[in-house]
Amino acid sequence: MQDNQQSRTGGVTRRRFLGTALATGTATFAAPAILRARNLNERLNIAIVGSGGRGGANLNGVNSENIVALCDVNENNLNAAAKKHPQAAKFTDFRKMYEDPNKFDAVVVSTCEHTHAFATLPALQLGKHVYCEKPLTYNIAEARKIREAAGHANVATQMGTQIHAGDNYRRVVELIQTGAIGDVSDVHVWVSRAWGRHDSLKAGQEAGDPYAIAERPLTTEEVPAGLNWDLWLGPAPKRDFHATYFPGPKWYRWWDFGNGTMSDLGSHWIDLPFWALNLDHPLTIEASGPQPHPEIAPASMQAVYEYGARGDLPPVQLSWYQGTYKPQMWHEEQIPRWSSGVLFVGNKGMLLSDYGKHVLLPEEQFTGFTPPEQSIPKSRGHYGEWIHACKTGEPTTCNFEYAGWLTEANHLGNVAFRTGKKLQWDAENMRATNAPDAERYIHRDYRKGWILT
């Protein structure tokens, strides 16, 4: 954890170096010998873990390459993908796929959140390039393990935060980092999606939650034809099948399988201030909202992070709002009332952004403002970046070093919410020093037969 110590004292961390290198195109890693000898036009051999839903979209994103293996616990998804890639070997258990690793160079992981680490870690340990859908892992301990394994593997990695490749985020980062609004002391990030547990089913329906449910079902249902429910559960505690958990995104609100909106949309929206302000680990985290439920993540909540100085960057407070929660300035109409947004507050002005647009505030203050020269090159596309990195050793923008810290921070918001305490975070030792009861949310006991080593 030497990087963390340096980030507080002004040293150049690996994350800071990568952030600079990505803008200048100077950082590389040593690609495996099998790829160093290849022509750039030669296609990668890619294994797909999870081929339905997001997996289907990710498969389409890399189908310019040679798809040699398909894995899915749902035979319906597996067979549909196999029709498009009939030459690919088929698996329902990714552990079996890894028994013959010489057949592929890279892996795309699009399973449910609770099995991401189990599908990703063996690929890294085998020296395979990995693209993993967000959030990178189910919990903080897994994020730490995956980030460190990726550092040892020295391969091309990318977390599936596709919006990161857009031009808008690049322009915002340039504005913040060139001081357009001065020193940033506060960031407010809000999303209006209200999926999770509500005060009542009626409240859930009024909030537009398509899968509103207040308690765990007491009944069981027949497992759909073609679905291997035991493999779908994987390391999670055993429970009987019910349609309220499957298919996605129904599962994401259940603590056993996911972490709700905080880790899901946080991967996209907190990504922007994380990038622009060179964040890694917070010093404290405090959350508020409804009474925590033992099984279901909240539809609405708020989390506040305190970050220390990072080199010449001052301390900053980052506030997250989801569902019905919004910043006070939003309620008072001091800023445009966008349904979702990121508001940077500096000592010379403010900047408001969403996925596709941004504005400097107050607008009259920035009349005639000349944006800085573009310094962050246009992306090849989120999938294109990763494929190019696999072949050349050039960096990706959401590599697991960066994505690991982002994932840890997002999970910490949920840990603070579930413990009901303001956490004092010791990043080096990966523990909340004032809340030993947080440990059960940082690590996890896995179901028999599932080991992460």
17 pLDDT exceeds 70? no
Q: What is the mean pLDDT of residues 270-294?
A: 98
Q: Six-digit token pair at 434?
A: 């004032």
Give me the numbers of helices (H) and strands (E) for the chain, helices first please. 18, 15
DSSP assignment of 41-95, as one string?
TSPPEEEEE--STHHHHHHHHTTTSEEEEEE-SBHHHHHHHHHH-TTSEEES-HH
C-alpha–C-alpha distance, residues 172 and 160, integer Å: 20
pLDDT at 38: 52
CB neighbourhood size of 41 (10 A): 6
CB neighbourhood size of 313 (10 A): 17
Q: What is the pLDDT of residues 71-123, one digit of tens each?
A: 999 999 999 999 999 999 999 999 999 999 999 999 999 999 999 999 999 99
pLDDT at 41: 75
Q: What is the pLDDT of residues 206-231, one digit of tens each?
A: 999 999 999 999 999 999 999 999 99
pLDDT at 433: 98
34 pLDDT exceeds 50? no
pLDDT at 249: 93
pLDDT at 200: 87
4 pLDDT exceeds 70? no
Contact 319, 303 (CB under 8 A): yes
| Residue % of the chain over a pLDDT of 90 | 89
448 pLDDT exceeds 80? yes
20 pLDDT exceeds 90? no
* Secondary structure (3-state) at 404: helix
Confidence class for position 432, pLDDT limits 50, 70, 90? very high
28 pLDDT exceeds 70? no
Contact 232, 224 (CB under 8 A): no
Q: What is the mean pLDDT of residues 149-178?
A: 97
Q: Six-digit token pair at 213?
A: 């449910």
Q: What is the pLDDT of residues 197-207, one digit of tens each?
A: 998 888 999 99
H helix or E strand, kind and range, residue 391: helix 382-392
Q: Partners of 322 in the beta sheet?
A: 191, 301
Mean predicted lDDT score pLDDT of the chain: 92
- CA 418 vs CA 201, 412, 414: distances in Å: 22, 10, 6
7 pLDDT exceeds 50? no
Q: Is the dihedral of CA 65, 69, 71, 76 positive or negative?
A: positive
The pTM of the full predicted model, rounded to 2 decimals, is 0.92
H helix or E strand, kind and range, residue 167: helix 167-177
Phi-psi region of 333 (alpha: psi -120 to 50; beta: other; left: phi over 0): left
- CA 25 vs CA 29, 383, 395: distances in Å: 12, 17, 8
Confidence class for position 39, pLDDT limits 50, 70, 90? low
> With b meaning 16 or more CB within 10 Å and e meaning fewer, what string describes 42-65?
eebbbbbbbbbbbbbebbebbeeb
Contact 110, 133 (CB under 8 A): yes
Q: What is the mean pLDDT of residues 253-281?
A: 97
Q: Compute CA 377 distance to the chain's CA centroid, rounded to the nearest angstrom.
A: 22
pLDDT at 201: 85
Phi-psi region of 289 (alpha: psi -120 to 50; beta: other; left: phi over 0): left
Question: Which stretch of 35-44, 148-157, 164-173, 289-298 has the lowest confidence by average pLDDT?
Answer: 35-44
pLDDT at 3: 37
Q: What is the mean pLDDT of residues 371-395?
A: 97
Confidence class for position 161, pLDDT limits 50, 70, 90? very high
* Domains detected in the chain: 45-164 (3.40.50.720), 166-195+256-376+400-442 (3.30.360.10)
394 pLDDT exceeds 90? yes
- CA 80 vs CA 47, 95, 209, 237, 344: distances in Å: 16, 21, 29, 29, 44
pLDDT at 30: 44
Contact 164, 398 (CB under 8 A): yes
399 pLDDT exceeds 90? yes
pLDDT at 363: 97
pLDDT at 76: 97
pLDDT at 241: 98
Question: What is the side-by-side strand order in the sheet with 349-353?
Answer: 358-361, 349-353, 341-346, 184-191, 316-322, 301-307, 284-288, 423-426, 431-432
pLDDT at 65: 98
H helix or E strand, kind and range, residue 17: helix 14-24
Contact 192, 354 (CB under 8 A): no
Q: Partners of 308 in the beta sheet?
A: none
Confidence class for position 149, pLDDT limits 50, 70, 90? very high
Q: What is the mean pLDDT of residues 390-407?
A: 97
